[in-house]
Structure 1
């Protein structure tokens, strides 16, 4: 898969009282995968700082499919599922994939870009349009132009 942006072992600190991956660790893995993906396509924290904007999330939905346990190795896929070219709002779909290639969870997030000075939503700079084309897309990707 060319949209795997995180791979790693599940650590002791990520386990809950039921001896499986705690709910908030899924969000942490997905956030790291998004960050890795943005870095890989050229949108580093330095690039964000240059324009004084950053991504924010409005919604995060986690659908569990299989348990993930201590010491398992997982992969996290990241793909853009929706992008509004007018206001810059976006949606990503992540899949947490176990070592046997079964899907442990699907995580959907919706977000936008925040002007860090004005503390208001903003659009992406025109120069970032090329970066958006490099992001892997879901099979049911929707691009909105209105």
Structure 2
């Protein structure tokens, strides 16, 4: 198993992502973070067809954004994804997204806490073992923690 695999993805921002202050609107940061997670999963064999076959989908319990520097109209961004937390069975996960301006300056950090939903039973479930293994290969954040089920994070 390859450990500490860094995942970075660059995006060209769109005109519609900016607000009247001519900087990236706050919700666009979260949209790009979600897109980076989807691209990470797709690149590792977990596309919509796979999730449909497994009858699972990711859900979020918490999303926290900290802003440092504005991204102005026309700037593109790069997102670096880190594993911030994982339960032993992979049911719960936590990701850290670091969003950088095109000059490399850290613009924002987004932390999401989520789990896997069985789309038939509508209950939380353990994902396939190969998905847990994939998560474990992602570079861990400095604040990585094991998520203990039954304990509020």
Fold match by TM threshold 0.5? yes
Partner residue, 1:88: 91
Per the TM alignment, residue 73 of structure 1 is displaced from its structure 2 partner at its CA by: 1.3
Partner residue, 1:39: 42
Residue 6 (structure 2) pairs with residue 2 (structure 1): yes
Structure 1 vs Structure 2 CA RMSD = 1.8
Q: Which runs of 5+ in 1 are unaligned?
A: none
In 1, Cα distance between equivalents of 2:130 and 2:90: 15
Per the TM alignment, residue 144 of structure 1 is displaced from its structure 2 partner at its CA by: 4.2
Residues 15 and 144 of structure 1, relative CA distance in 2, 3 Å threshold = closer
Q: Deviations over 1:33-55 (max 9, x none)?
A: 00111111222211111110010
Contact 2:61 2:114 in 1 (8 A): yes
Contact 1:42 1:131 in 2 (8 A): no
Partner residue, 1:116: 119
Normalising by structure 2, we get a TM-score of 0.86
Normalising by structure 1, we get a TM-score of 0.90
Per the TM alignment, residue 145 of structure 1 is displaced from its structure 2 partner at its CA by: 6.3
Shift >6 Å, 4+ stretches: none
Q: Which runs of 5+ in 2 are unaligned?
A: none
